[in-house]
Homo-oligomer: A and B are copies of this chain.
Amino acid sequence: MSFYKREINDVKSLETQMHGKDFLLTWDKTDQELRATLAVANILKKMHSDNISAKLFNSGLALSIFRDQSTRTRYSFASATNFLGLTVSDLDEGKSQIAHGETVRETANMISFLTEIIGIRDDMYLGAGNSYMQEVGRALDDGFERGLLNQRPGVINLQCDIDHPTQSMADLLHLKNHFGSLEALKGKKIAMTWAYSPSYGKPLSVPQGIIGLMTRFGMNVVLAHPPGYNLMPECIDIARNNAQKSQGAFMEAHSMEEAFEGADIVYPKSWAPFDIMKQRTELLKAKDGEGLKNLEKKCLEQNAAYQNWECDRKKMNLTKDKKALYMHCLPADISGVSCKAGEVSAEVFEASREDTYREAGYKPFIIASMILLNRFANPSEILENLLKNAQKRVEGI
Contact of A71 among B60, B98, B333 (CB under 8 A): B98
The answer to whether A59 and B82 have CB atoms under 8 Å apart is yes
A273-281, A284-292, A300-308, A357-365: which lies at the B interface? A357-365
Pair A58/B58 contact, Cβ less than 8 Å: no
In the complex the two chains form, is B60's CB within 8 Å of A357's CB? no
A196 close to B (CB within 8 Å): no
A392/B106 contact (C-beta < 8 A), A91-B71, A101-B331, A333-B101 known: no
- A272: interface (CB < 8 Å): no
Let me know if A339 is at the binding interface, CB within 8 A. Answer: yes
Could you tell me the distance between the alpha carbons of A339 and B103 in the complex, rounded to whole angstroms?
12
Give the distance in Å from the alpha carbon of A97 to the alpha carbon of B71 in the complex: 6
Q: Which residues of B contact A74 (CB under 8 A)?
A: 95-96
A395 at the interface (CB under 8 A from B): yes
Q: Are A113 and B199 within 8 A (Cβ)?
A: no
Nearest B residue to A146 by beta-carbon distance? B354
CB distance from A70 to the nearest CB of B (A): 7
Beta-carbon contact of B70 and A78 below 8 Å: no
Q: A394 and B60: CB pair below 8 A?
A: yes
> In the complex, what residues of B have CB within 8 A of residue A395's CB?
55-58, 382, 385
Tell me the chain A residues, 70-97 only, with Cβ under 8 Å from chain B.
70-72, 74-76, 78-79, 82-85, 87-89, 91, 95-97
Kindly provide the distance from the CB of A16 to the nearest chain B CB, expressed in whole angstroms. Answer: 16
* Bitwise interface map of A from 360 to 397 toward B, beta carbon under 8 Å scored 1, else 0: 11001000000000011110011001000001111111
Residue of B nearest to A354 (CB): B146
CB-nearest residue of chain B to A78: B89
Contacts of A79 in B (CB 8 A): 61, 89, 113-115
A87 closest partner in B (C-beta): B82
Number of interface residues, chain A, beta carbon within 8 A: 79
Given contacts A53-B59, A57-B393, A78-B61, contact A72 B110 (CB under 8 A): yes
B89 close to A393 (CB less than 8 A): no
A102 within 8 A of partner (CB): yes
Query: Residue A48 at the B interface, CB < 8 A?
Result: yes
User: Chain B residues with Cβ under 8 A from A338's Cβ?
Assistant: 101-103
Bitwise interface map of A from 100 to 137 toward B, beta carbon under 8 Å scored 1, else 0: 11110011011101111000000000000000000000
Shortest distance from the beta carbon of A357 to any chain B beta carbon, whole Å: 5
- Residues on B with C-beta less than 8 A from A58 are 53, 55, 391-395
Q: Is A251 an interface residue when CB atoms closer than 8 A count as contact?
A: no
Besides the contacts A57-B395, A79-B113, what 12 more A-B pairs have beta carbons closer than 8 Å? A48-B114, A55-B395, A61-B82, A74-B95, A78-B87, A82-B89, A103-B337, A110-B360, A113-B364, A148-B357, A375-B394, A382-B395
Q: Which residues of A contact B (CB under 8 A)?
A: 48-49, 53-61, 66, 69-72, 74-76, 78-79, 82-85, 87-89, 91, 95-98, 100-103, 106-107, 109-111, 113-116, 143, 146, 148-150, 199, 330-331, 333-334, 337-339, 354, 357-358, 360-361, 364, 375-378, 381-382, 385, 391-397
28 pairs from A and B in contact (CB 8 Å cutoff): A56-B394, A56-B396, A58-B394, A59-B85, A61-B79, A66-B95, A69-B96, A69-B97, A70-B95, A71-B107, A71-B111, A72-B110, A74-B96, A75-B91, A75-B110, A75-B111, A76-B113, A79-B89, A82-B89, A83-B114, A100-B199, A100-B331, A101-B334, A102-B338, A110-B357, A116-B394, A148-B358, A377-B397
